[in-house]
A and B are shown apart, each in its own frame.
Chain A
Amino acid sequence: MELKLKIWRQNSPEEKGSFKEYQRSDFDPAMSIPEMLDHLNLHLMRAGERPISFESDCREGICGQCGFMINGQAHGPEKGSTACQTHLRSFKDGDTLWLEPFRARAFPLKRDLMVDRSAFDDIIAVGGFISVDTGPAPEANSILIAHQTAEDAFDAAACIGCGACVAACPNASASLFTAAKLNHLALLPQGKIEAQERVLQMVEAMDLKGFGACSLIGACELVCPQGISLDNIAKMNGAYRKANWGF
């Protein structure tokens, strides 16, 4: 199949970037987006051009490594999918695809479609955990958790840390990411103990890292490959208010 690709090329953070156009007619509809880029890269290399830098690893939508904008949407047009799970059969022969990196102040660009998402790790490092060392854990069934509670905690915990939510948000807010972790832990009895402190610390870290504020637009929920719900943010806001002002 034939596609026209307009891809953001930027050698380094310091240099200027721009879209460059590539056209090929030998793509296969069964290719995933990274496989399409592999294919293009092979031909770029053969022609003596620098291949496009992009990241991917698991190629099954779970590691969160891939991710860029495809036609203005984080991870592309397929709902609930990462870029690596998006196949060319989602497009029509002759289509033009615009690929550009996730753009956010907190995600500095490295090269082409690659950005630095380590700010997410920094948010986790200040409180995205239950403070338990290796060793003292009690017998697992001594902590009873209702079936539905475990399911709800799982829904929040399913986040893959890809950053699409930030990229989709006009404010580049990390609220969905942060709220998902907060709720995952706050729903569970073993996570409740530190819930207050956790919300204060993680929200503060989010601001410090340069993510924007949330105005509940909901673009994040729409692009989240794991379908993490916007409700998480409402709960986070409630918990934050309570921890700060007690109501």
Chain B
Amino acid sequence: MRLQAKIPEGPLEQKWTRYKAAAKLINPANRAKYKIIVVGTGLAGSSCAASMAELGFQVEVFSFHDSPRRAHSVAAQGGVNAAKDYKNDGDSVWRMFHDTLKGGDFRAREANVYRLAECSASLIDQAVAQGVPFAREYGGYLSNRSFGGVQVSRTFYARGQTGQQLLQGAYQSLMRQSGLGKLKLHTRHEMLDLLLHKGRASGIVCRNLDNGSIESFEADAVVLATGGYGKIYYLSTLAMNCNATAIWRAHKKGAGFAAPSWTQFHPTSLPQMGSHQSKLTLMSESLRNDGRIWVPKAKNDQRLPGTIPEEERDYYLERRYPSYGNLAPRDIASRAALDRIEKGYGVGPMQNAVYLDFKDALEKHGRETIRQRYGNLFGMYQKITGINAYEQPMLIAPAAHFSMGGLWVDYGLMSNLEGLFVLGEANFSDHGANRLGANSLLQACVDGYFIAPHSLMDFLARSGAIEITAERQSNAQASKAQIEDQLQSLLSIKGKTSAEEFHQALGKILYEKCGLRRERENLEHALKEIEALRERFYQDLMIPGTAKEINFELEKAGRLADYIDLGALIVQDALQREESCGAHFREEHQTEEGEARRNDADFQYVSVWEYLKPLTYQLHAEPLTFDAVQPSQRSYK
């Protein structure tokens, strides 16, 4: 496997400009000769597909959803970052770059991170032009708030539905191109295989989820924008159908998988309330701007929160991290909560939560202001729990949320497979070992609107179209036959355990042994348990019905088969990395104060795994170099 990051020469501030200047173009009249497949219609996929169609390329777009608007980007609540410095509080592209690199614990590429900050302002311009109704000040100017892990206010938001509103913008652009006939949309199509022609991505194989037919589609380049895989933990803030299948199948065809174990646990999710529960709902991190996090100072304190006097409360984030307080980065806030819960200070019916309290904010700003800021979140909280957060503190707990890992990509977002581009949460690129809040809507958008159009065109200009040959057709036939076989073999197991039950078991292993804290012996156990689960899966899986009809159980089973293999890789990756960095916390590697201890001498690289055979992967490394900023120990004290 060859890993060439292809970072342009020159000073950090000029790299992206130089890249664009050197990128090859295709004459507008010739663009329609090239076909691009985009899988996924979240922010990354929709923005890329619309932008490429606007340029005049032939675009075909795929989503397993029934409408592009349902992609899980829709669920993002809190906001999107941009270095506009509207607040005159010292923000700049440089500061945003620095915050992001440091927030990621120096495990991302400087050049990528800088570009993310550099393109951030244009994204806000683009979204406003599309009609995204961001919050406004009374004078009509855009409003900002601050998000975890930074000391400036650079987060733009649309009440608590920022992802929905940004996605509406991208979706509307996509539908506009569809209406103009410049783009073809295939909803309810799930990608199950990547086609390669002489090592270059040349198409995909899908299952039509409405009738079960297996179909192939050819193209000159393939873009995967298929989102994150945090749902592997079963209970997570992701949607029920989020999965890793598209990137996993590409991985099996040779695409390197980078940093699989770097999963972010969000500190302000709702805790698990019972055994029937299928997902955890996030309460936006923006709540930490006004809410204060605490637990009782006494263990097993059963009193109602309102009756616990001030001096008997432990505002542990404010205590441990005085300069960032409740806004400490996610990994730190999550681990601190877990620490309190594990030591017996947890609250709520299952004692698995901490309080997020708005008492002081309500006193200071009044109910109306708080309602305007967080009304829909408070409403959502009440719907789910039946509790009124204006009167009682919220119960929150850490939950699996975001995958920093994903397919490895170079500076132009191309994987190690020629012509296979990976955008948005599906790639590993910009967040290092920990993502800062409100940076990933940005990344998904920047990837799709601003980067892929340049790098895709450059690639197509250099590599040309791929001829349709008999060889290509027989390749596609073979892949389709193989997919049919795989589905049949899953159906023929006829066991007694549903995919969902296997998923719950996998999630439990990962939460307990490869979650917020990791430790060698536990990880080794986890690996054995996953191997055993895998064996049982192929002996005892229960799927009703056939492959030639709507069959949700078959869909779940296919995704879970991939999740199990990815689960094993996640554990292997966590085992291999003998350091703590960002979200990856190895018990063996911590300071006396219990903070993460990085090991730059041995692990200043991105781990990239090559698939050899089931459960067997080979490690490659992309070394990280830092010229602009010297890695320092993160401190949020």
Contact = CB atoms under 8 A, between A and B. Distances in A.
Interface string B363-377: 000000000000000
A206 B187 CA distance: 20
B69 A129 contact: no
B141 A141 contact: yes
B136 A147 contact: yes
A128 B137 CA distance: 26
Interface stretch (A32-40, A91-99, A209-217, A234-242): A32-40
B1 interface: no
Given A134-B453, A137-B125, A45 B542 contact: yes
A53 B131 contact: no
Interface string A150-190: 11011001101100000000000000000000001100101
Contacts of B131: 129-130, 153, 157, 184-185, 188, 190-191
B74 A58 contact: yes
A55 B496 CA distance: 23
Contact of A35 (B278, B498, B545): B278
A150 B135 contact: yes
B440 interface: no
A127 B500 CA distance: 41
Nearest to A48: B544
Contacts of A185: 131
A59 B66 contact: no
A59 B278 contact: yes
B380 A61 contact: yes
B241 interface: yes
A102 interface: no
Contact of A60 (B142, B159, B179, B380): B380
B69 A140 contact: no
Contacts of A80: 379
A56 B65 CA distance: 10
A30 interface: yes
Contacts, number: 209
A114 B172 contact: no
Nearest to B84: A140
Interface in A20-42: 28, 30-32, 34-35, 38-39, 42
Interface residues of A, number: 78
B161 A158 contact: yes
Interface string B68-102: 11101011000000001010000000000000000
Contacts of B383: 61, 78, 81, 85
Contact of A143 (B70, B128, B175, B544): B128
Contacts of B279: 59-60
Nearest to B73: A63
Given A42-B500, A57-B72, A150-B136, A139 B542 contact: no
B302 interface: no
Given A110-B210, A145-B140, A188-B131, A58 B179 contact: no
A66 B179 CA distance: 26
Contact of B129 (A58, A128, A137, A161): A137
B172 A147 contact: no
Nearest to B181: A125
B134 interface: yes
B281 interface: yes
Contacts of B165: 154, 157
Contacts of B278: 32, 34-35, 38, 59
Contacts of B552: 51, 53
B67 A45 contact: no
A58 B133 contact: no
A62 interface: yes
A5 interface: no
A57 B65 contact: yes
Nearest to B160: A62
Contacts of A32: 278
A16 interface: no
Nearest to B68: A121
B67 A144 contact: no
Given A59-B279, A116-B66, A160 B125 contact: no
A18 B86 CA distance: 60
A144 B141 contact: yes
A104 to B, nearest CB: 15
Interface string B276-314: 111101100000000000000000000000000000000
B24 interface: no
Contacts of B142: 140-141
A62 B67 contact: no
Interface string A114-129: 1011101100111111
A73 interface: no
A134 B124 CA distance: 12
A53 B276 contact: no
A34 B276 CA distance: 11
B72 A58 contact: yes
Interface string B519-552: 0000000000000000000000010110000101
A130 B96 CA distance: 30
A158 B74 CA distance: 11
A101 interface: no
B353 to A, nearest CB: 15
B517 interface: no
Contacts of A139: 125
Q: 6 closest A-B pairs (Cβ-Cβ)?
A: A144-B140, A125-B179, A129-B172, A137-B129, A137-B125, A153-B133
Given A58-B74, A58-B75, A134-B453, 5 more contacts: A35-B278, A63-B69, A121-B69, A150-B133, A188-B133
26 contacts: A45-B542, A53-B550, A53-B552, A55-B66, A59-B240, A63-B69, A65-B65, A78-B383, A85-B383, A89-B386, A121-B185, A124-B171, A124-B175, A126-B179, A128-B172, A129-B175, A130-B130, A134-B173, A138-B125, A140-B84, A144-B141, A150-B135, A154-B161, A157-B165, A161-B70, A185-B131
